[in-house]
Structure 1
Amino acid sequence: MTDAKTSDIQHVEDMSREFSKMEKPVMGTARLLTEGEIVLIPRPSTDPCDPLNLPLWHKWTILVIVTLFSVGGVLLASSVGVIMQTLEAYYDYNPRVSDLSLYPTLFMGIGNVVAIPLAHAFGRRPFFLLSCLLMVATCAWAAWSPTLEQHIAARDVMSLAAGQSEALCPIIIQEIFFLHEHARSLTWFSGLQSIGVGVLMIASAYLTDSLGWRWWYIVFGIVNLVVLVLAFLFVVETKYPRSISVLAGDIDPSELLDPAISIPEKITKSTRLPLDYTNYSRRSFVHDLRPWQGHNNWRLAIEAWKQIAVVFWFPNVFWLMLCSGAFLGIYVLCTTVFAGILMPPPYSFSATSLGYVMGSQTFVGVIAIPILGYGNDLVVKYLSRRNGGIIEPEYRLLSGIIPFLSLIIATVMFGKAGSHPDQYSWAGIAVSMNVIFFAYVGMVVTSFTYVISSYPTRSDSLLVVLCACRGFISFGISFGVNSFVKEKGFEGAMNICAIIVGILAALGIPVYVFGKSIRRMTQRYAMD
């Protein structure tokens, strides 16, 4: 007996020494595979009201509804350029007409900075419904605006609501899907958004040409009203309290209170626990209809604003913010100048033909979903399997290689075609611009999935930094586009842009190699 007891003590001491040698867990590093199955991260609770426990049809219904909202928001706030020729003629070529497209990007960023921390404190549903309602109201305001000044004001307020398509919608999506589904779900969101905006930009050119620009707002105001009704019925509250251990897929200490209940260390589809209707209330359709589900903590909003200021300086996040701003800035530059290249001879495009050029974004959506969504998830699973089932968020960055290469090549081609229209086909402009848009969508998906995986406790603040800052950068670029292109020429300006992207791509190498060290260094600032 003594020998057995001594052996047990020795075994415990050996285990303790081994444990002390183990590397402390780093936020974002988690076990994705166990016994050949995918671990469900975050760890779902047994609460029927947990949004992770929603049936699959309901999750995809929510994704489609928030995508419809984002289509309307992006189209109305950011794609007014497709009808700009009509608006300039209506307002007698008043130079202030450019404000209709200039200021929305600024106000979309402001909308993110203000609304997301409040949604963190009071819940997602009330602010999403408020944004839908504001879109309907401002569409009516813009449609019946008597002056250019009121038209500009209506679009600025509209953009505060439309900005929620950039951060709040992805937040809602990532809260109802598991970690291994994030890339595909966010790419479906971005892909369907691209397809919807592309088709509607083509329709917009014909709509305004036939009925006038006011009907553009009326028609899409009705569409937004339908989205509001659908959101009221189906977009439930997705904010749900989770501990750090649960966000990593581990057991919550509260689950161990009853030793008689066997709790699996990791939850997979086959080991998922049944819903507990004894200790939790059933999900009620009538209860879900309440616009506000009871979240009420002003302190969380204040904390969120503080967190935004902190995560902004994380080296990996700061790099992705610069990348997102550069990708969007180059796309904004191209959409600002492409009409001036294609409408004069030798191309002589009509205003409606420009709608087809912008509408080609539909193909971007079709291509992006399988490559950037499912492809990203497959690569992550493969690398995690080779790493003993452990996922590292840096695996998500590998999908950024395609956007970087695409952007550099397309940017150079756009510059050459713009400077030498006599030597290049119109496709040098049209195709290059849509490849640039593809690269931008790819960077959005890459940056979102990486930061959410790296710092799951700070997803709200991180998306605000990425979305708001790229909007501010885009706004700044809009002021200097014409003088920049005039001074350097299309080829010179785009070559400079390509060089900047190349430098950012090179900076991504140390971010990937030392990513875990960066997360270890910064995680204490991301702990609740």
Structure 2
Amino acid sequence: MVAINHRVPTTASAKSSLGHLEVEEDVANSPDPIGLLSEPHRLYLLQRHGTLDLDPIPTMDPADPYNWPMWKKSVNLGLVALHAFMGTFTAASIICVYENISEDLGVSIQQVSYLTSIQIAILGSAPLIWKPLSHNFGRRPVFLLSLILSCICNVGCAKSPDYHSMAACRALVAFFISPAMAIGSGVVAETFFRHERARYMGIWTVMVTLGVPIGPFIFGFMAQRVKYRWIFWVLAIINASEFVLYIFFGPETRYTGVDVDAQSRSSTFKREYLTFRRIDPAPIRIIDFIHPLLLFTNIPVLLSTVAYSMVFLFASVLNSVEVPQLLQSKFELTTQQLGLQFLGLIIGSLLGELLGGYMSDLWMIIRAHKIGRGRKPEPEFRLWLSYVGFLLSIAGIIMFFVCTEQAKAGKWDVKPIVGTGIAAFGNQVVTTVLITYSVDIYPQDAGSVGVFVNFIRSMWGFIGPFWFPYMFENVGISVSAGIVTALIVVASFIPTALLHWQGKDWYSNGTSKT
């Protein structure tokens, strides 16, 4: 299922339309696609944006998300990013209270850990259902439904009398909170122009990443002062608060064309905030629910996703879920002190986003100026920054493992936390660069790209914690750094080099289209 596009793109696409004007691929890629616009359209864009150098070129409709003022785009993105953050934040929220839940519900700590594992698996697969629904009915209704049902299920977690009911409620929370974790890439592509895409894609991606360490960081403080069930009450309160905010500040970004009454202010408001009906007349088919998985046949998207997911597994998931096992007992940490160990991941991710997001867009702008006006830099040029991320991820993981093993028992050492921060910095660079690259080469269905990336990333993250402990037990913590390094080189570094070499030929020749 390919998204309907009523704008004139300046990237490669089979055919696009502007009103009744058909634009063939060779024209869309010509040096002057602006020449296709009418004079009123030119004046409208100049008044709205101050330039005609836009990709894609918006319509004359104020309801077109590309034409929104920047404050409106930013507020909407902030809400979607917070929504995406809540997925990983909710899954990781109980990491620091496994022991408390174990004592309260009378089950083993291993069983309690499944309350997180099951959420990771569902967060990866549930968007396969939400994506076609949001495509046909719009992003806004899906997000609102997601938030209110997540709130109800979190209340169910707080009131659960036994392990099985809590597991069921946790599973439902993961299902309902998951849409923004995957559809967020589509929202960014539907709202921001190509030259600013990495910067704003990075806001969404960094929030997904930050959910993992911020969960135990915040709730480690809370769990030492109040009962652990307050974690679920707080999650429910956040869901309800965002639901209210989204009603007023979260307009529809799934734009399907120009209304007859497009210039009417009331009509624009109605379409953006009050439309709760099917906005795409195409029927929903069974294949639509598995369509994102067809990107397994899209070689560039597949390689970039695998490369990113391997780094995410080790630099984010491993460095988060193994902190309690590796550091809590060795340094004899309290629940609150354990939460503080995630500070390195938080700081590293935020700093990494500056390079992966802002610098990535600046990098492409510099390249555009160098090759000349009217030509677009090849998406592969963005990949150069990913190598920095790979190297920093490897360095940080090695530092974390080696310094953890060398640290003296009972005496806290900051060096492992510095290592997690360096790894998180590299992971965030890789995250933003590779996801943005995937959207750049497959912009016609950015939502599917997000769902596909989220599926692969979550499946890797779900499987990893089952074999991490065996790796540490059988080869030791320091030697494990060598295994992780080899896996990143083979599954991340080499595939990215292949994309640099052959990526353009793969997607230009159409051999990897879904």
> Normalised by the size of structure 1, how large is the TM-score?
0.81
Does the 8 Å contact 1:26/1:519 carry over to 2? Answer: no
Q: Deviations over 1:221-274 (max 9, x none)?
A: 1121010011122211111237xxxxxxxxxxxxxxxxxxxxxxxxxxxxxxxx
Does the 8 Å contact 2:346/2:421 carry over to 1? Answer: no
Q: Return closer, same or farther for 1:406/1:65 CA change in 2, 3 Å cut-off.
A: same
In 2, Cα distance between equivalents of 1:293 and 1:380: 39
Give ranges in structure 2 of 5+ residues lacking alignment.
1-23, 35-49
Residue 454 of structure 2: which of 462, 467, 492 is its match? 467
Does the 8 Å contact 2:97/2:223 carry over to 1? Answer: yes
Q: CA deviation at 1:295?
A: 1.5
Q: Does 1:408 align with 2:394?
A: yes
Query: Could you say what secondary structure the match of 1:380 adopts?
Result: helix
Q: CA deviation at 1:383?
A: 1.3
Q: Does 1:516 align with 2:500?
A: no
Matches within 5 A, 1:318-337: 318-330=302-314, 331-337=316-322
Give, as a single letter, the amino acid of the residue that structure 2 aligns with 1:290.
Answer: L
Q: Does 1:428 align with 2:415?
A: yes
In 2, Cα distance between equivalents of 1:404 and 1:151: 38
Aligned position for 1:166: 181
Q: How many residues align?
A: 470
Task: Give the fraction of aligned pairs with identical amino acids, expressed as a percent.
Answer: 22
Aligned position for 2:467: 480
Q: Return closer, same or farther for 1:278/1:458 CA change in 2, 3 Å cut-off.
A: closer
Query: Could you say what secondary structure the match of 2:231 adopts?
Result: helix
Q: Does 1:498 align with 2:485?
A: yes
Does the 8 Å contact 2:124/2:455 carry over to 1? Answer: yes
Query: Could you say what secondary structure the match of 2:476 adopts?
Result: helix
Q: Return closer, same or farther for 1:523/1:153 CA change in 2, 3 Å cut-off.
A: same
Q: Does 1:458 align with 2:445?
A: yes
Does the 8 Å contact 1:48/1:276 carry over to 2? Answer: no
In 1, Cα distance between equivalents of 2:304 and 2:287: 23
Q: CA deviation at 1:455?
A: 1.2
In 1, Cα distance between equivalents of 2:299 and 2:63: 37
Does the 8 Å contact 1:46/1:276 carry over to 2? Answer: no
Does the 8 Å contact 2:119/2:174 carry over to 1? Answer: yes
Q: Does 1:85 align with 2:69?
A: no
Q: CA deviation at 1:378?
A: 0.6
Residue 123 of structure 2: which of 108, 124, 130 is its match? 108
Give, as a single letter, the amino acid of the residue that structure 2 aligns with 1:334.
Answer: N
In 2, Cα distance between equivalents of 1:131 and 1:456: 25
Q: Return closer, same or farther for 1:30/1:140 CA change in 2, 3 Å cut-off.
A: farther
Q: Return closer, same or farther for 1:323/1:301 CA change in 2, 3 Å cut-off.
A: farther
Aligned position for 1:63: 77
Aligned position for 1:368: 352
Does the 8 Å contact 2:92/2:215 carry over to 1? Answer: no
Q: CA deviation at 1:486?
A: 1.4
Q: Return closer, same or farther for 1:38/1:466 CA change in 2, 3 Å cut-off.
A: farther
Query: Could you say what secondary structure the match of 1:46 adopts?
Result: coil
Matches within 5 A, 1:380-391: 380-388=364-372, 389-391=375-377
Residue 134 of structure 1: which of 135, 143, 149 is its match? 149
In 2, Cα distance between equivalents of 1:25 and 1:509: 28
Does the 8 Å contact 1:360/1:434 carry over to 2? Answer: yes
RMSD of equivalent CA atoms: 3.1
In 2, Cα distance between equivalents of 1:125 and 1:40: 26
Q: Does 1:359 align with 2:343?
A: yes
Give ranges in structure 1 of 5+ residues lacking alignment.
1-23, 243-274
Give, as a single letter, the amino acid of the residue that structure 1 aligns with 2:297.
Answer: W
Aligned position for 1:74: 88
In 2, Cα distance between equivalents of 1:397 and 1:188: 18
Does the 8 Å contact 2:90/2:215 carry over to 1? Answer: no
In 2, Cα distance between equivalents of 1:202 and 1:396: 33
Q: CA deviation at 1:139?
A: 0.9
Q: Return closer, same or farther for 1:84/1:291 CA change in 2, 3 Å cut-off.
A: farther
Q: CA deviation at 1:87?
A: 2.0
Does the 8 Å contact 2:312/2:427 carry over to 1? Answer: yes
Matches within 5 A, 1:217-236: 217-236=232-251
In 1, Cα distance between equivalents of 2:28 and 2:472: 42
Q: CA deviation at 1:112?
A: 1.5
Question: Which deviates the most, 310-319 or 178-187?
Answer: 310-319
Q: Return closer, same or farther for 1:371/1:31 CA change in 2, 3 Å cut-off.
A: farther
Does the 8 Å contact 1:91/1:97 carry over to 2? Answer: no
Aligned position for 1:259: none
In 1, Cα distance between equivalents of 2:60 and 2:498: 41
Query: Could you say what secondary structure the match of 2:278 adopts?
Result: coil
Q: CA deviation at 1:100?
A: 0.9
Q: Return closer, same or farther for 1:192/1:455 CA change in 2, 3 Å cut-off.
A: closer
In 2, Cα distance between equivalents of 1:149 and 1:196: 25
Q: Return closer, same or farther for 1:46/1:524 CA change in 2, 3 Å cut-off.
A: farther
In 2, Cα distance between equivalents of 1:399 and 1:300: 39
Aligned position for 1:349: 333
Q: Return closer, same or farther for 1:279/1:107 CA change in 2, 3 Å cut-off.
A: closer
Give, as a single letter, the amino acid of the residue that structure 2 aligns with 1:237.
Answer: E
In 1, Cα distance between equivalents of 2:27 and 2:428: 26
Q: CA deviation at 1:142?
A: 0.4
Aligned position for 2:68: 54
Does the 8 Å contact 2:221/2:335 carry over to 1? Answer: no
Aligned position for 1:8: none
Does the 8 Å contact 2:88/2:211 carry over to 1? Answer: no
Give, as a single letter, the amino acid of the residue that structure 2 aligns with 1:82.
Answer: C
In 1, Cα distance between equivalents of 2:28 and 2:381: 11
Q: CA deviation at 1:27?
A: 12
Larger relative contact order (CA 8 Å, sep ≥ 6): 1
Give, as a single letter, the amino acid of the residue that structure 2 aligns with 1:104.
Answer: Q
Q: Return closer, same or farther for 1:211/1:487 CA change in 2, 3 Å cut-off.
A: same
Q: CA deviation at 1:187?
A: 1.8
Residue 112 of structure 2: which of 84, 88, 97 is its match? 97
Q: Return closer, same or farther for 1:465/1:520 CA change in 2, 3 Å cut-off.
A: same
Q: Does 1:214 align with 2:229?
A: yes
Q: CA deviation at 1:404?
A: 0.5
In 1, Cα distance between equivalents of 2:412 and 2:343: 19
Q: CA deviation at 1:336?
A: 2.4
Q: Return closer, same or farther for 1:311/1:189 CA change in 2, 3 Å cut-off.
A: closer
Q: CA deviation at 1:520?
A: 1.4
Does the 8 Å contact 1:120/1:300 carry over to 2? Answer: no
In 2, Cα distance between equivalents of 1:188 and 1:219: 23
In 1, Cα distance between equivalents of 2:72 and 2:86: 21
Aligned position for 1:257: none
Q: CA deviation at 1:300?
A: 5.2
Aligned position for 1:308: 292
Q: CA deviation at 1:148?
A: 0.8
In 2, Cα distance between equivalents of 1:415 and 1:203: 24
Q: CA deviation at 1:163?
A: 2.2
In 1, Cα distance between equivalents of 2:31 and 2:416: 45
In 2, Cα distance between equivalents of 1:361 and 1:27: 46
Give, as a single letter, the amino acid of the residue that structure 2 aligns with 1:320.
Answer: S
Which is greater in Rg? 1
Q: CA deviation at 1:62?
A: 0.5
